[in-house]
């Protein structure tokens, strides 16, 4: 069997759904488990609902109606007869969201997040599974919340591998096709959990690991893994092959083409991972495998936006010792903060983090009880893997650098977004190459 994953960009509209069917026809010589994300920007919109619901503010109703209307437009293009069962299935999902938001929020923001945001994948897979069946690509819709079993670490759930593997092997039968949601699972109490943003890639590798798939193919709107974002930069180059190790490094530094946890399960069973274009499904794409060299060997540029820098100082100018760092990381862990870069001096530490509009204020409030705290918002984290002196000089030009770190293979800066990058080979309107 094979595992195919389609992200939100590939199923953002009716034409995208039709294209999924075309891709499956081209590559349908084996049974396939299709992993699907929420459509388009649905997850972002559901996050707005979560924020309003958690603060017990109005406004979520209008956002929910807009999401519903967007999906209805897709359905009307795919299913012209309104008596089709899929209309009832999707209406039921939106009723469930409305019922949740009509109650009281859980004190834990992350619990609310997983309860609501998980429905984005439920809606998209209901629509896609129904359309594929109508077109003769017979498949079974399955609920990832009943099969991907995790702990209760909401928004960053950890997989119970033994239980999950057993459930998937019992459910997925040879010679049959399936459609399943990415990104979501459930804890022991059947409460919805999520695997982290971009977690649908991770779901694909979990399924592949459990059923011993022949390979995993992630379908993107780019030809494969590139050394730059073709929507922003000219003369980007396709990376034809890359090792598991190199892919893990790129994911760690923020290359969003691959989820950070996606590679490890595949590496354990030596299952190849391919990244291909859903716009050109017959093209070669990028193959990720065991022990292959990076080809072609090029510097790879990564940008993480929506970052912030927290500077933490001791109030008595004492050294930043292990007890201080332990207290800081305990707060980060409890509130689900991702640290992307850190530096220590004698009396202070700096942390470049994902600047979440809800979580960051809570973090700062807790830290201020123990330390002097400064916060710099509107920061981007730039990484060049396999950098050269020329690429370093080019990237740093015109920026206000807040943090910098250099290793033999990796160079990083956290910089304020106060000026555009001036470069002879990158557009002046851009800041970096962005996966």
**Residue 91 counted as domain residue:** yes
pLDDT of residue 318: 74
% of the chain with per-residue pLDDT over 90: 74
pTM summary value: 0.78
Least confident of 151-155, 206-210, 318-322: 318-322
pLDDT band at 113 (very low <50, low <70, confident <90, very high): very high
**Does residue 241 have a pLDDT over 60?**
yes
Are residues 213 and 311 both part of a single domain?
A: no
Are residues 322 and 205 both part of a single domain?
A: no
**Residue 19 counted as domain residue:** yes
**Does residue 427 have a pLDDT over 80?**
no
CATH, residue 316: 3.30.2130.10
Average pLDDT, stretch 354-374? 94
Residue 380's H or E segment, with its range, is: strand 372-385
Which three-class secondary structure state does DSSP give residue 25? helix
% of the chain with per-residue pLDDT over 70: 94
Are residues 24 and 161 both part of a single domain?
A: yes
**Residue 22 counted as domain residue:** yes
Are residues 328 and 189 both part of a single domain?
A: no
Are residues 187 and 59 both part of a single domain?
A: yes
| Percent of the chain that is helix, strand, coil (3-state, to 5) | 40, 25, 40
**Residue 92 counted as domain residue:** yes
Are residues 69 and 165 both part of a single domain?
A: yes
**Residue 409 counted as domain residue:** yes
Cα separation of 416 and 412, whole Å?
A: 13
**Residue 382 counted as domain residue:** yes
**Does residue 110 have a pLDDT over 80?**
yes
Are residues 32 and 156 both part of a single domain?
A: yes
Overall domain count for the chain: 2
Are residues 214 and 319 both part of a single domain?
A: no
**Residue 359 counted as domain residue:** yes
Higher pLDDT, 95 or 283: 95
Instruction: Pinpoint the alpha helices (H) of 177-283.
Output: 200-211, 244-252, 263-269
> Could you give the C-alpha distances from 63 to 43, 51, 238, in angstroms and in order?
12, 11, 38
Please identify, among 220, 240, 271, the residue that sits at the C-terminal boundary of a domain.
220
- Bridging pattern class, strands 273-277 and 286-289: antiparallel
pLDDT of residue 322: 85
Are residues 136 and 16 both part of a single domain?
A: yes
CATH, residue 92: 3.40.1160.10
**Does residue 122 have a pLDDT over 80?**
yes
Are residues 206 and 330 both part of a single domain?
A: no
Are residues 213 and 310 both part of a single domain?
A: no
Average pLDDT, stretch 73-91? 97
Task: Please give the residue range of the domain that contains residue 342.
Answer: 300-416
Q: Minimal CA–CA distance to 363: which of 57, 192, 44, 109?
A: 109
pLDDT, tens digit, for every residue of 25-55? 998 788 999 999 999 999 999 999 999 999 9
Are residues 123 and 34 both part of a single domain?
A: yes
**Residue 87 counted as domain residue:** yes
């Amino acid at each position: 069997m094979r595992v195919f994953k389609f992200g939100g960009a590939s199923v953002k509209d009716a034409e995208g759904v039709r294209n999924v069917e075309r891709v499956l026809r081209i590559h349908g010589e084996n049974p396939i488990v299709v992993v699907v994300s929420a459509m388009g920007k649905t997850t972002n919109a559901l996050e707005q609902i979560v924020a309003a619901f958690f603060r017990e503010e109005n406004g979520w109703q209008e956002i929910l109606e807009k999401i519903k209307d967007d999906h209805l437009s897709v359905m009307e293009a795919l299913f012209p007869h309104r008596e089709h069962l899929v209309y009832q299935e999707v209406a039921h999902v939106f009723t469930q969201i409305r019922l949740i938001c009509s109650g009281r929020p859980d004190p834990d923001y992350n619990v609310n997040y997983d309860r609501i945001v998980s429905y984005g994948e439920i809606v998209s897979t209901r629509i896609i599974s129904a359309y594929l069946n109508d077109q003769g690509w017979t498949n079974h819709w399955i609920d990832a919340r009943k099969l991907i079993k995790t702990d209760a670490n909401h928004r960053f759930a950890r997989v119970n591998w033994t239980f999950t593997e057993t459930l998937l092997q019992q459910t997925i039968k040879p010679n049959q096709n399936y459609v399943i949601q990415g990104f979501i699972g459930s804890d022991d109490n059947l409460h919805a959990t999520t695997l982290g943003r971009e977690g649908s890639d991770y779901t694909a590798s979990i399924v592949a690991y459990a059923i011993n798939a022949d390979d995993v193919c992630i379908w993107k709107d780019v030809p494969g893994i590139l050394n730059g974002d073709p929507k922003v930069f000219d003369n980007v180059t396709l990376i034809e092959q890359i090792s598991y190790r190199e892919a893990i490094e790129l994911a760690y530094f923020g290359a969003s083409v691959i989820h950070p946890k996606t590679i490890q399960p595949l590496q354990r069973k030596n299952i190849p991972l391919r990244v291909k274009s859903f716009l050109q499904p017959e093209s070669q794409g990028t193959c990720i495998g065991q022990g292959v060299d990076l080809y072609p060997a090029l510097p790879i540029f990564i940008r993480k936006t929506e970052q912030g820098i927290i500077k933490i100082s001791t109030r008595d100018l004492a050294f930043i010792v292990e007890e201080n760092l332990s207290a800081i990381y305990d707060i980060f862990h409890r509130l689900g903060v991702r640290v992307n870069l850190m530096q220590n001096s004698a009396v202070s530490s700096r942390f470049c983090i994902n600047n979440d509009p809800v979580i960051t204020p809570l973090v700062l409030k807790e830290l201020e009880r123990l330390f002097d705290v400064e916060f710099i918002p509107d920061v981007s984290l730039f990484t060049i893997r396999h950098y050269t002196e020329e690429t370093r000089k080019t990237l740093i030009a015109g920026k206000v650098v807040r943090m910098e770190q250099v290793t033999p293979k990796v160079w990083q800066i956290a910089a304020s977004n106060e000026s555009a990058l001036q470069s002879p080979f990158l557009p002046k309107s851009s800041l970096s190459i962005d996966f």
